[in-house]
Each structure stands twice: as C-alpha cells, then as structure tokens.
C-alpha cells in the first residue's frame, strides 16, 4: 500500500522528468510570479510567522527551544525583501540545464558530448529558517529539479504560508508541471523520507549538528551538507590590527546564530597583549562570553571592566555555540594555528588576518576547509554573497559540491553520443579502426 508521503514523493519524482525539459523563459516567468506573490502577501507571511514566534517563545521559556533557534525562525519585512531579492537574482543566473561541458571526437562522424542535466528529485529537511523554502525552491526550479520540503514543527505556519504562495504562483505559469514541489509537515515523515531512496536522488539537511548527523547516519540517499560550523579566525603576528578588530568582531557578533559565525579566535602570542584587551572590550560591550586558554586568560583577567571572562575547557575547542560565546586561544605560530584548525575545526570556514603574502599562501594551502578567508569575515561564506543568487546549503563534502552550494550543486551530467550507424566491431580485431579522441569546440545544440 502506498502511503500519503510516498504518493507525494512519487508525484514529485514524476514531475521532475517534465521539469527537467522546461525552457528558460518559462522557468524565469515562474520565478517572477513567485517573487510577486511574496511581495503582495507580506501580511500573510508575517501573520503566520507571528504565530510560530509566539509558540517558540513559550517553548524557549520551558527550556525546550534555544534562543538561536528562535532567532532563525523570525521573519520580518527585511527578510521577506531578502527572499524576493534572492529569487530575482536566480532569474538573472544563466540556466545551467543542457550546457555542453565537453565535446570529444571519438572518430570522424562519431562525437561524444558531456551535457549538464538536473539531478532529479531533491529532498530538503530543515529546522526553523522559513527563508529556506524560497531560496531552495528558486534554485531547484531554475535548475530543473523537483523538491520535497520537510520543515520543523516550530516553523509550521510560516513554512506552509510561504510554500503555498510560491507553489500557486509557479504553477500558474503554463508549462510548469503540478506536483513538482511538495511539503511534508509531521514529525513522523522524516524517517519515512529517509527510506525513499528509490525516488529521492539527493538529501539536503539544514539544522543543528545532531539533526544533520542523524540524517547522514540513517539513510542510503546521498546527503549534501555539513553537521558542524566550527569556524576560526587566526590573528597573525603580521596582522594589521585595525583589520583584525573589524573582521573578528563581525565574524562573531554580526549574526552569531549561524554556521559561518566564528566560534574560536586564535591569536599569535607576539601580538596578544596588544590585540586582546581592545578586542575583549569590544566583545564585552556586545555581551559576548569569552572562554579563554591559560595564556589569554592571564591577559584578560587583569582588566576589571570586562564581563564574562572564564577559562576554556577542551570541549570548547570542539563546540559550535551559535550564540554570543567565543573561545580564545594563544598560539606560538601560524603553523600551530593551522594544526588547531585542522584538528578541531569542521572544515567549514576559516580566516587568517595577516599582511604577509607568504603566510597567506601557506594558510590557504594547508587549511582543509571549504572556504578560507584572508582579511575578511567568515560571514561572507554564503551563497548569496558568493553570487549564486541563494544557496541550498553549505557543504563540507569533498565530492560533488563544496562550500556554499548554488545551482551547480544541483546539477549532474549525461553523455550523448552522436553517430551514423557506427559499430564497436569496427574498432576490434586485426584491422581495427583507430579512435581519434580529439577535443572539439562544438555544442550539443549544434547537432540536436
């Protein structure tokens, strides 16, 4: 017997075949309709989100929900404008479907084309963050992928309001198949979705470390994403300290409840006594708790006006706080900083502040992370800021896609061989024909 969840997924899988061949103008028209629907129905979204926030605040008071999760849940006019801008940016992106990636002549008149195509059906499972729905739906639609969404119960009203507006708008455009986008809402559906490897081609989880690890450990479906966001800023002894103050503060304080916020500050011992007091004052004024190793604690404990300076534990180096908390450690060299990052980090985003060109090269070469910043905030690790229009997530994987993932992470390729009655038998035996294997500057659209 086919369950309701499986029926939805099967419908989306079937629609993905049609969506893969929809032309660019039709997809862009659907995206414009989606953006317009969000703009004209702001009040609907805000009212739905108000209900979710009220419920979330009650759970927070009971200790059942963190402040970080409540922060991620909030939607205001500015966030809705950001959703709309993100969709408009996706409209401007080049349609990746059907792009000729490589052409090889096997022999005269026998040509092999490597052509980009959608992955198929993308499953997105996420906590809080209702803005995930328009971001991912826009990228999936433009790249020709169907999508099933499973949001957290804390964002039930917001997700439903946004999803319904987007789907109604997209399906109002002739040529967009119905059922290509589906929303799941009950908690039980998560485990059901994880078992549907016969239909879902790729899973993208967005949420807490434990949540993402659970997804990764309980499905046969390929998973794109990251479980931890333990990001570092290293202030080198050749740093411009004015830059260091700005970058370090922004990396932690600008929005601490996200995966690309700094969690650990590493400071070269040669500049620590000069750098740390002012940096700690800036943190203290922003109500950041500082968890210090012995060296940094010895410097900061002497400053009377500082608040919340405590000793760090070994666990702090392995913790993603998603809050106004930072761990601080003094290191003797850049090499020690790199060793710490590669040992305790999550290969997400790490930063060096230095004016030394040789050190920049060494740091970027040896730090094994999906994004490495030089004299710039870790918060730049974002699909929108990277010019991808939006992102489906940030991946620390080393295959398929890495870092902030836009449409390129939703694409795969197929091979198309154009022949004229050619037989493999002609290329075997004593008098076998020889392959030319000549690279060609030719597109598949030239022959189809």
pLDDT in tens, the chain (448 residues): 778 889 999 999 999 999 999 999 999 999 999 999 999 999 999 999 999 999 999 988 988 888 877 888 899 999 999 999 989 999 999 999 999 999 999 999 999 999 999 999 999 998 878 999 999 999 999 999 999 999 888 899 999 999 999 999 999 999 999 999 999 887 667 888 999 999 999 999 987 778 888 898 999 999 987 767 899 999 999 999 999 999 999 999 999 988 899 999 999 999 999 999 999 999 999 999 999 999 999 999 988 777 789 999 999 999 999 899 999 999 999 999 999 999 999 999 999 999 999 999 999 999 999 999 999 999 999 988 888 877 787 888 877 888 888 888 899 999 999 999 999 999 999 999 999 999 999 999 988 8
Please give the pLDDT value at position 285.
94
DSSP assignment, residue 350? E
Query: Which domains occur in the chain, in start order?
Result: 4-96+116-224+401-410 (3.40.605.10), 231-380 (3.40.309.10)
Q: Which residues of 165-198 are buried (b: 16+ CB within 10 A; e: fewer)?
A: bbbebbbebeebbebbbbbbeeeebbebbbebee
Per residue in 64-75, pLDDT (tens digit) is 888 877 888 899
Q: Which residues pair with 205 in a beta bridge?
A: 125
CA distance 258 to 299: 29
Q: Which of 374, 378, 343 is nearest to 359 (CA)?
A: 374
DSSP string, 204-252: EEES-HHHHHHHHHS-SS-B-S-S---EEEEE-TT--HHHHHHHHHHHH
Look-up: residue for tokens 């029926």? 7
DSSP assignment, residue 389? S
SS3 80: helix
Please give the pLDDT value at position 227.
66
SS3 371: strand
Residue 378 tokens, joined: 């870790």
Sequence-ordered list of residues with C-beta below 8 angstroms from that of 210, at least 6 positions apart, any chain:
none
CA distance 385 to 398: 21
CA distance 218 to 122: 17
Whether 409 and 203 have beta carbons less than 8 Å apart is answered as no
What radius of gyration, in Å, describes the C-alpha atoms of the chain? 25
Please give the pLDDT value at position 391.
78
The number of beta carbons lying within 10 Å of the beta carbon of residue 8 is: 19
CA distance 126 to 123: 10
Look-up: residue for tokens 């996706």? 90
CA distance 293 to 332: 13
Q: How far is CA 207 from the centre of its chain?
A: 11
The model scores a pTM over 0.85: no
């Amino acid at each position: 017997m086919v369950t309701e969840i499986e029926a939805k997924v099967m419908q989306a899988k079937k629609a993905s075949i049609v969506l893969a061949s929809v032309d660019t103008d039709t997809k862009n028209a659907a995206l414009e309709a989606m953006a317009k629907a969000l703009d004209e129905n702001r009040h609907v979204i805000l009212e739905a989100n108000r209900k979710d926030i009220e419920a979330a605040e009650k759970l927070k008071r009971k200790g059942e929900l963190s402040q970080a999760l409540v922060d991620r849940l909030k939607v205001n006019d500015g966030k809705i404008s950001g959703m709309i801008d993100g969709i408009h940016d996706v409209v401007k992106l080049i349609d990746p479907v059907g792009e000729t990636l490589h052409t090889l002549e096997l022999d005269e008149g026998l040509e092999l084309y490597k052509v980009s195509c959608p992955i198929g059906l993308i499953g997105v499972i996420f906590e809080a963050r209702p803005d995930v729905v328009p971001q991912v739906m826009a990228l999936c639609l433009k790249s020709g992928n169907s999508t099933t969404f499973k949001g957290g119960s804390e964002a039930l009203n917001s997700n439903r309001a946004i999803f319904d507006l987007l789907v109604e708008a997209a399906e109002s455009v002739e040529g967009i198949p119905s059922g290509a986008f589906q929303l799941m809402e009950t908690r039980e559906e998560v485990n059901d979705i994880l078992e549907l490897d016969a239909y879902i081609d790729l899973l993208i989880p967005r949420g807490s470390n434990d949540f993402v690890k659970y997804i990764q450990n309980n499905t046969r479906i390929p998973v794109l994403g990251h479980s931890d966001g333990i990001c570092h800023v290293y202030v080198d002894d050749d740093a411009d300290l004015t830059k260091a103050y700005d970058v370090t503060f922004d990396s932690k304080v600008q929005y601490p409840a996200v995966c690309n916020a700094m969690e650990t500050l590493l400071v070269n011992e040669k500049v620590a006594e000069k750098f740390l007091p002012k940096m700690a004052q800036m943190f203290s004024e922003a109500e950041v708790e500082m968890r210090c190793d012995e060296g940094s604690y010895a410097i900061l404990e002497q400053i009377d006006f500082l608040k919340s300076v405590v000793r760090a534990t070994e666990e702090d180096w392995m913790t993603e706080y998603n809050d106004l908390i930072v761990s601080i450690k003094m290191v003797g060299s850049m090499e020690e900083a790199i060793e710490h990052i590669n040992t305790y980090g999550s290969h997400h985003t790490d930063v060096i502040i230095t004016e030394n060109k040789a050190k920049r090269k060494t740091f970027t070469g040896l730090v094994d992370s999906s994004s490495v910043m030089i004299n710039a905030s870790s918060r730049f690790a974002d699909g929108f800021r990277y010019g991808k229009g939006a992102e489906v997530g940030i991946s620390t994987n080393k295959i398929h896609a890495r870092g902030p993932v836009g449409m390129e992470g939703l694409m795969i390729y197929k091979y198309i061989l154009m022949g004229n009655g050619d037989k493999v038998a002609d290329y075997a035996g004593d008098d076998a024909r020889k392959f030319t294997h000549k690279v060609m500057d030719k597109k598949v659209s030239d022959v189809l």
